[in-house]
Chain A
Amino acid sequence: MTGPDDILVAEALTRRFDPRLTIGDRIAGALGAPVERRPLRAVTDVSFAIRRGETLGLVGESGCGKSTLGRMVAGILPQTSGRVTLDGKPVMARGRKTTTRIQTVFQDPFASLNPRRRIGETIAEGPIAHGIVTRAGAPAFIAEWLARVGLDPAVAQRFPHQFSGGQRQRVAIARALAMRPDLLVCDEPVASLDVSIQAQILNLFLELRQALGLTCLFISHDLSVVRHVADRVAIMYLGRIVEVGPAARIHAAPRHPYARALLDSVPKLRLDATSVTFRPIAGELPSPLAPPAGCAFHPRCPRASDLCRRERPDLVAGEDGAALACHHPEPAA
């Protein structure tokens, strides 16, 4: 499923977290007591590619592995197996990030900005270290980036706590983009913002993406946000991608029953008294410590058969960058 336009390729990415044993567990284990050491499989065998200039949306519920996947793509978290390459070169080598061409914007800019450093320094630190700008040129560089993200250049001397949530996210975007990345990984960049501020940040994102020709991996739990910014959407469930496709088609006619159920469960604005605005999915999310056998979605799936309980469906690539992992998909529209 890779093509010549692909800038980023992830192949069979897997991330396992092994439980850290406490001293008590170790003593108990040494004395022969049963100690639970089941690994948590956050991401299992995920492959995908992002084309140059494309925004790929990554959607799923808590615990589905979308942030873990994003961190591996960004080169922040080493994978257990598999690999990520940017223009053919591995993003990580020997546990370290090898490129500055991938930058990240996180959900909580208060946690991702150094609270004791003036935001001007935060923005210029990376570019100075990597020779993008000289120390002498830094003040003008900082002013330019603050203006680009819609902040007054005079605020360069302030600290993160002097900004509102939306302004801090603007600083975080400036910090990431000042490194001139080719790929921007956004992990829930608007999830903690109020609706009116969220709209401002999404507009800024759309504007800068076009001006700079960015490629993006945009991670969110909010389907309407992803529908708005993404060209293609990948949907994750319990550590695996279950469906990928063009954003409009996924939104209008998803083929994986989980994708369908997820879309149906989001309340829509109800403009008249009678319309049904959401339909819940039955059941709870299974624990990633003990994923169900076969297709992980089968216990909650209305279309599940014996085959689904026995055999896990592979992610099969279709046309136009689409892919689907389901034995009994909904008919194509």
Chain B
Amino acid sequence: MTAPLLSVRDLRTHFMTRAGVAKAVDGVSFDLAAGEILGLVGESGSGKSVTGFSLLGLVDPPGRIVGGSIRFQGRELVGMPPAALRALRGRHLAMVFQDPQATLNPVLTIGAQMALAVQAHERASDRAALDRAAAVLARVGIPEAARRLSAYPHEFSGGMRQRVAIATALLHGPALIVADEPTTALDVSIQAQILAKMKALAAESGTALIWISHDLATVSSLADRVLVMYAGRIVESGPVGAVLRAPLHPYTRGLLDSLPAMATPGEKLRQIPGAAPSLLALPAGCAFAPRCPRADAACAAPPPEVAQGSRRAACHHPLEAAA
């Protein structure tokens, strides 16, 4: 077997706040193959976005990667000099953020900022850079792309701006795109268009994709494999269908049961009691134990890894997987 495109081992990203050390990401490990679409799911504060930011070296103080390793195309990213990381970022490794309004420069035309992104990594004439930008905009489904190059971001709708952000990420044909809640701010009809486009683009260009989202349904419609995060750790991973059909971890089960789409209308939802723990004071053992219906004395110790084929869960009392 060839080496994976991306290999993350025991990644730990902590935030040194005045109130103490917030362990936003605390021991995350996973592999990603070339061309694979990986869904990274969790609620607020689970560490899913910080994991994504860590991969691109975009964690700002007081946050810091305090341990672990990120190997991308055989090169170690943790501790890499900023200049080397910059040469990689945008070219081989790109990110799409939740809010395209904040990503795009409001005082530059779409064409100008995309041309800058081309020229950041390649020697290209302005004309050639703009042609490249127009071609990529057309690929993400922006009509009359060449004419729209002279438009400013505010002249675009939210969905169109997100297409521009995706087009910018695609400019150099990166091996990996990390997308952090890219459709959360969009309406459902526009979200569906972007999802369909993303899926097609990833398939035709062979780009691997890490899709970070709180929405299980969105992830399930797109990803091959899913990682479920809770309080800075991965609690369950595996092929999307298998995980959603028969989760091993009680937290994944609880998330699914919380969805109105899975319940009889008007009936009470099977809610998870309580709230996520503070990242400043995580329980010593399993972080989900205080909310877990299966928890007992054993859960005060760190949970063991349970393996079933390609599936993994970190739990003392995993649920039975259906055959």
Complex Cα spacing A225 to B215, Å = 14
- Contacts known (A228-B265, A267-B195); A273 close to B157, Cβ less than 8 A: no
B266 touches A270 (CB 8 A): no
B258 at interface by CB-CB < 8 Å: yes
In the complex, chain A residues 21-55 whose Cβ is within 8 Å of any chain B Cβ:
none
The stretch of B86-94, B103-111, B267-275, B301-309 in contact with A is B267-275
Take A203-B271, A277-B221 as given contacts and tell me if A195 and B189 are in contact as well, using a CB distance cutoff of 8 Å: no
Q: Which residue of B lies closest to A210 (CB)?
A: B266
The complex places the Cα of A252 from the Cα of B56 at a distance, in Å, of 44
Residues of chain B within 8 A of A282, CB atoms compared = 193
A128 → B minimal CB distance (Å):
31
- Taking a contact as CB atoms under 8 Å apart, the answer to whether B259 and A269 are in contact is yes
Inter-chain contacts of B275 with A (CB < 8 A): 164, 166, 197
Complex Cα gap A33–B216 (Å)? 53
| Contact indicator A267/B218 (Cβ below 8 Å) | yes
Assess the B193–A269 pair: CB atoms within 8 A.
no
Interface check B281, CB cutoff 8 A: no
Complex CA–CA separation, A21 to B207 (angstroms): 49
Cβ A265 vs Cβ B221 within 8 A = no
CA distance A272 to B240 in the complex (A): 8
Give the distance to chain A from B73, nearest Cβ to Cβ, in Å.
Answer: 28
Per-residue interface assignment for chain B, residues 128 to 167, with 1 indicating a CB less than 8 Å from any chain A CB and 0 otherwise: 0000000000000000000000000000010110000000
Report the Cα distance A268→B195, complex, angstroms.
Answer: 13
List B contacts of A200 (CB < 8 A): 271-273
Q: Are B188's CB and A195's CB within 8 A? A: no
A224 engages B214 (CB within 8 Å): no
Cβ of B10 under 8 Å from chain A:
no
Q: Please measure, in the bound complex, the distance between the C-alpha atom of A198 and the C-alpha atom of B192, giving whole angstroms.
A: 23
Name the one of A197, A203, A224, A270 contacting B240, with C-beta atoms under 8 angstroms. A270
Q: Which single member of A268, A278, A284 contacts B190 (CB below 8 Å)?
A: A284
How many Å lie between the Cα of A166 and that of B271 in the bound state?
Answer: 13
The CA-CA distance from A248 to B214 in the complex, in Å, is 26
Report the separation of the CA atoms of residues A291 and B272 in the bound assembly, to the nearest whole angstrom: 44
CB of B220 within 8 A of CB of A285, answer no
B59 beta carbon closer than 8 Å to chain A: no
Q: How far is the CA of A278 from the CA of B221 in the complex (A)?
A: 8
A285 contacts B189, C-beta separation under 8 Å: yes
> Chain B residues near A269 (CB, 8 Å)?
216-217, 220, 244, 256, 259, 261-262
Instruction: Known A247-B265, A271-B245, A281-B192; judge A199-B187 contact (CB<8 A).
Output: no
Contacts of B254 in A (CB 8 A): 196
B36 contacts A by Cβ under 8 Å? no
CA distance A194 to B229 in the complex (A): 13
A-B contact pairs, 18 of them (CB 8 A): A199-B257, A199-B272, A200-B271, A202-B260, A203-B269, A224-B259, A225-B260, A228-B266, A265-B189, A266-B188, A266-B217, A267-B218, A267-B222, A271-B241, A273-B241, A278-B195, A280-B195, A285-B187
Q: What are the 8 A-B residue pairs with the smallest beta carbon separation, nearest first?
A: A199-B258, A280-B192, A228-B260, A265-B192, A277-B221, A194-B43, A61-B187, A224-B261
